[in-house]
Amino acid sequence: MQFADGVERLRAERPRLEFGAAWDYAPAPEATDHLRLDGRYGLYIGGRFVEPKSGRWFATINPATEEPLAEVAEAGEADVDAAVRAAESAQRRVWGRLPAAERGKYLFRIARLLQEKAREFAVLETMNGGKPITEARDVDVPLAVAHFFHHAGWADKLADAFAGRAPRPLGVCGQIIPWNFPLLMAAWKIAPALACGNTVVLKPAETTPLTALHLAKLFDEAGLPPGVVNIVPGAGETGASLVNHPRVAKIAFTGSTEVGKLIQRAVAGTGKRLTLELGGKAANIVFADAALDQAVEGIIRGIYFNQGHVCCAGSRLLVEESIAEDLIARLDWRIRSLRVGDPLDKNTDVGAINSRAQLEKIRELARAGVDDGAVMHQSDCALPGKGYFFPPTYFTGVAQSHRIAREEIFGPVLAVMTFRTPDEAIEKANNLPYGLSAGVWTDKGAKIFAMTRRLRAGVVWANTFNKFDPASPFGGYKESGFGREGGRHGLEAYLEL
C-alpha cells in the first residue's frame, strides 16, 4: 500500500504548527561552565591516569559542532596487558577477598557520587555523544545511577540469590561498549561485575570515551582500590587485544552483530565466558483498537529518541491496515513538530548523529530505501549548518525484502508496513535474524499476552516503548546475541556457580 498521495493530502489539510516569531521557543541552552574538561586524558590503569605505552593519542570531538573536546590516549597491546595485570592483581589481593557487604558499600558510594554529579555527567554525555541534554539528564544518568544502586544491593545477597550453589567471581572481565549510551553501558557492565567480586578492564567506544574517563575520576573519589576498574580507550584493535588476552576470564560486548561474530569466533575454545548484546530491528505492532495518540508517542520515542541510536529501537512499524492511514497522518504531523538541533538546548527532541561514519551509513540506507522503491517522507525542519544531523524520516510502501526493512539503520528512520491479522503481524515481526525487542499496542490485555508469547524477542513492551529498569533482564535471541544483563539473570554472567 502506498500512502504517498494520502500523506501529501494530509500535509495540506494539516499543516505544521507555525507559532510565529512571538510564540516560537526561545533557545534554552544548558550551562556548561560547571564542567571542567582536561586537555588530555591518559589511560586509567591501576588507579592512575598514565601515559600510553603505545605513544598514540586521538582527538575526541563534539558531533554537534565537529569541534575537538580533548585528546585521549589510545591503548595498544602492551597497555591492555598492563590493565589486565592490574585488574588481576586487584582481584586476587583486594577485591576478591573483601567481605561482600564491603563491595556493596563501594558501589553505594559510587551511585551516590554519580547522583551528586548528575549535571556534569549529563552535559559531558551530550557534548561527546550528541544526544539531547533532556535525554542525558532524564534517561542516561538516572539509569546509570540506578544500575549502581541496584547492584550494590546484590553484592551481599548472592548466596541467597543462588541458594544451594556456591557463587564465586570469575576474575578479570573485559568489557567492550558502544557509543550510543556510553555512561549507561559502562554502569550496566561495571556494576554487576564488581558486585560479584570481579575486576574490570573497560574499553569505551572510540567516539565517546569522556564520560567513562570522568567515571574513573569518580571511582578515585569513592576510594575504590586501584586496579578494580581500568579504562583503556581505543578502537577495534584495542578491543581485539582485550578479547584475545589470555588472563581475561570473561568478555561482555555490546555493539554490532558483525563484531559480535568476530568476538565469538576469537573466544571459541578458550574457556572464556561471553555475553553478546548486538543489533536489532524491532517491530512495533499497532492494532486497530490501540489508543492511537498514545501509540504515536510510543512510536516517536521508539525510533526518534536518541536519534535512533538504540539497539532495541522500534525501527519497523507494523500497523493494522484498517487504521494505517489515520495513524500515519497523526505520525506525520507529530514528526514534523520534532525539534532537531543543538543537543544542549533543552527544547531539542532530536540531537546530533554520533559520527560522520554513522551519518554516512544512515544516508546510504535511506538512499537504498528510495532505490528499492519505497516512498520516503522527511520532516522539513531546518538542520544546523555544522555537525552531523539527519531529519526524522519514515518510509511507506515498504516491502519486507527492502534493505530498510531488514537491516539495522541505527538512525532516525522508520519503515512502515501493514498487516491484516495477528498471525501476519507475528510472521512479519519474527522473520528477521534479529530478536532483541518488540512492541505491542492494543486495548486488549488478552491480545497482549497472546502476542508476547509468540514474539521471538528478548524484551516486549506493551502500550509503551524503550522503558528500562536494572531489575529487568535485557538481551536478545538469535543474531541479537545471548546472555542477559540486569536483575538476577544478569548476575549469572559474572559468577561461577
Residue numbers annotated as active site: 277, 311
The least distance separating ligand NAI from the CB of residue 179, rounded to whole angstroms, comes to 6
DSSP code per residue over 22-58: GGSPPP-BPP-TT----SEE-EEETTEEE--TT--EE
Q: Which residues bind ligand NAI (CB under 6 A)?
A: 176-178, 180, 203, 205-206, 235-236, 239-240, 243, 254-256, 259, 262-263, 277-279, 311, 358, 361, 408, 410
Residue whose beta carbon is closest to ligand NAI: 239
User: For 62-96, b where at least 16 C-beta lie within 10 A, e where not — what string?
Assistant: bbbbeeebbebbbbbbebbbbbbbbbbbbbeeebe
**Which parts of 103-255 are beta strand (E)?**
168-169, 172-176, 199-203, 229-231, 250-254
Cβ at position 257, least distance to ligand NAI in Å = 7
Helices 182-195 and 118-129 sit at what angle, rounded to 10 degrees? 130
Based on its alpha-carbon atoms, the radius of gyration of the chain, rounded to whole angstroms, reads: 23
Q: Which is nearer to ligand NAI, 237 or 325 (CB)?
A: 237
Q: What is the Cα 320 distance to its own chain's centre? A: 29
Q: Tell me whether residue 95 or residue 181 sits nearer to ligand NAI (CB atom).
A: 181
Backbone conformation region of residue 92, classed left if phi is above 0, alpha if psi is from -120 to 50, else beta: alpha
Cβ-based nearer residue to ligand NAI, 43 or 155: 43
Nearer to ligand NAI, 104 or 458 (CB): 458
Query: Shortest distance, CB of residue 415 to ligand NAI, whole angstroms?
Result: 14
| Shortest reach from residue 369's CB to ligand NAI, in Å | 15
- Residue 445 exposed, middle or buried by CB count within 10 Å (0-12, 13-18, 19+): exposed
Is the Cβ of residue 3 or residue 41 nearer to ligand NAI in the bound state? 41
The residue written with cell numbers 522503491 in the block is 373
Min CB(38)–ligand NAI separation in Å? 21
CA distances to 213, 334, 394, 479 from 353, in Å: 22, 20, 17, 25
Residue among 101, 178, 114 at smallest CA distance from 143:
114
- CA proximity to 251, closest of 485, 493, 419: 493
Grid cell 527532541 is found at: 349
Q: Measure the CA–CA gap between 143 and 146, rounded to whole angstroms.
A: 5
CB nearer to ligand NAI: pick between 169 and 279? 279
Nearest distance, CB of residue 71 and ligand NAI, angstroms: 18
Asked if 250 contacts 273 with a C-beta cutoff of 8 angstroms, the reply is: yes
CB closer to ligand NAI, 153 vs 236: 236
Q: How far is the CB of 121 from ligand NAI (least distance, A)?
A: 19
Question: What grid cell was written down for 371?
Answer: 532505490
Do 200 and 95 form a contact (C-beta atoms < 8 A)?
A: no
